[in-house]
Amino acid sequence: MQTVWLLIVSSIALYVIRLYTEFRRNVKTIGDFPGYRTLLAGPPARGLLATFLPQILGISQGRMNLWRSKHKDFEYFGSHIYSSVNIWPKSTCQFRVADPSAIKEITSSRTRFPKPVEAYQVLKFFGDNIVVAEGDEWKKHRKVANPENNRMVWEETVKIVNDMFQNAWREQEEVVVDHCVDVTLTVALLVIGTAGFGRNISWESDLQIPPGHQMSFKEALNVVSVGMFSKAILPRWAMRLTHRLRTINLAFSELQLYMQTMIDERKNAEKKVERYDLFSSLLDASEEESDGLAKLSDSELRGNIFIFMLAGHETTAHTLCFCFALLALYQEEQEILLQHINSVLPGGRTPTYEDMGALTYSMAVFYETLRLFPPVNGIPKRCEEDATLVTTTTAGEKLVVAIPKGSAISLHIPGLHYNPRYWKDPHEFKPKRFLEDYNRDAFLPFSGGARSCIGRRFFETEGIAILTSIVQKYKIEVKEEPQFANETFDERRARLLDCKIGVTLTPIRVPLVFKRRA
């Protein structure tokens, strides 16, 4: 028995020594470049245990580290690039980058700094798609995923918002919402459903559960987006253990059924309706080859539908929720925006697609919200060969950083967006900065290079239409609640803008009041 225990202890000791030796080798490989040294891997290439832990010095950087630290870590380590080396489960070298020039070099070179698609396998629930593909496979998905019909996006968005005013809010003088995301998620879902996938539904009809289903389309998609992580890490049998897990499981089945029904109805329609939406492009690609690229399989078709629905409603909804919270907090900015809207749309006329280019302050408010609350905090890349990146120290001196082959790289978006070198008073809400000269490489809410967000123009068109339409008709205020009667402005701001990491940066609770303008 004593021999057995000796073998166990010896094996553990050898394992620990091996881990530590590999860790020290990696630290030496990067020349002990300043940064974190932790037991567990940090985001986005983190292990399962590190996902649940908060930031603990020497142990874990925590899931919220990129967001919570913003630019502080770069200031602490004295450079716009810093390193991270962990010990377990496997020692890895990682570099966090908040330098716009270095980021531009990374995103412009897909061969030297490719996307580590293995980090996105969680998004393959319904099939391969544009997010998880790379190389020729990515080209196939990118070729057909062309959601550009911006006039239709604008017109459908304005129609849906007006439908909300009439049938959901019923032209009330005052609409109180306990969490603004309940409003923005529904609007964004109806927009992506109608403009992206031809689901002609109204505000009220989407709340109904159709025959053959146990959930509405909206509920199924929302539960899937919230429950993705549980579905990814738990074995199939565990998804039946609790009511919450069974609901998530059901939502995945329901969403797949909705998507397949959409596909079957469009494919089997006796009369083909000529549409120029994303769904039509995807369906065409599943029926015939294009430019020598293979057809999309049924699972790839479902996978892409899911990705565009998920990204197309959640990102917009959360950004607009933060946007309305900021306007409620900063009433003077809301008034500037209103006056600008009235100057472009005199007499309260309905905004048209032709007005979008003139609604510059709406765009500025939208962009400033994205700067302050970037939907994705860390964009992973991998270094395929020994490379160097040029950056500066926080004192402004040039610094050349050696990046060994195999290193993980994270484009640190909050670090970039809160970098005082490129943004004056970076923590302040100042939309006007986007009407002045600014470093466009220091603004990266949609990533950059060839792998930048394919739905950017759809997202901007929809967002500006919703923002303009609502501010034109309603004044937005913070809902007064007795338990917060004595809070300071800073406390109120922190409460309304509190958030968590989900598929995208997610507001926790934004209680607002929409008051109809005279």
* Residue ranges covered by each domain of the chain: 2-120+379-417, 141-375+445-516
Q: Let me know if 207 is exposed, middle or buried by CB neighbors in 10 A (0-12, 13-18, 19+).
A: middle
- The verdict on whether residue 453 carries a ligand-binding annotation is yes
Q: Tell me what the mean pLDDT of segment 6-22 comes to.
A: 92
Percent of the chain at pLDDT above 90?
Answer: 59
How far from 69 is each of 215, 344, 416, 428, 502, CA to CA, in Å? 39, 39, 11, 16, 17
Which pLDDT does position 49 carry in this prediction? 57
Question: Lowest mean pLDDT: which of 160-169, 216-225, 242-251, 364-373?
Answer: 216-225
SS percent in the chain: helix, strand, coil, step 5: 55, 15, 35
Which pLDDT does position 196 carry in this prediction? 79
Which pLDDT does position 435 carry in this prediction? 98
Which token pair is 34? 């300043």
Q: Would you mind telling me the total number of residues written for the chain in this entry?
A: 518
Most confident among 6-10, 162-166, 189-193, 301-305 (mean pLDDT): 162-166
322-337 burial, b if ≥16 CB within 10 A, otherwise e?
bbbbbbbbbeebbebb
Nearest Cα neighbor of 116 from 381, 447, 409, 377 is 381
Beta strand ranges found along 363-443 (DSSP E): 378-382, 387-392, 398-403, 408-412
- From the CB of residue 282, how many other CB atoms can be counted at a distance below 10 Å? 25
Rounded to two decimals, the pTM is 0.92
Residue pLDDT, tens place only, 28-79: 999 999 999 999 887 655 555 556 678 888 888 887 889 999 999 999 999 9
368: confidence class by pLDDT, cuts 50, 70, 90: very high
Q: Tell me what the mean pLDDT of segment 471-483 comes to.
A: 97
- From the CB of residue 183, how many other CB atoms can be counted at a distance below 10 Å? 23
Domain 141-375+445-516 CATH superfamily = Cytochrome P450 (1.10.630.10)
Which token pair is 439? 């470093």
Q: Is 107 helix (H, G, I), strand (E, B) or coil?
A: helix
Which pLDDT does position 148 carry in this prediction? 58
Q: Let me know if 474 is exposed, middle or buried by CB neighbors in 10 A (0-12, 13-18, 19+).
A: buried
Question: Lowest mean pLDDT: which of 88-92, 452-456, 487-491, 499-503?
Answer: 452-456
Q: Tell me what the mean pLDDT of segment 333-347 comes to.
A: 98
Which pLDDT does position 202 carry in this prediction? 67
Which token pair is 169? 């809010």
The pLDDT of residue 292 is above 80: no
Q: How far apart are CA 206 and CA 503, in angstroms?
A: 23
The pLDDT of residue 94 is above 90: yes
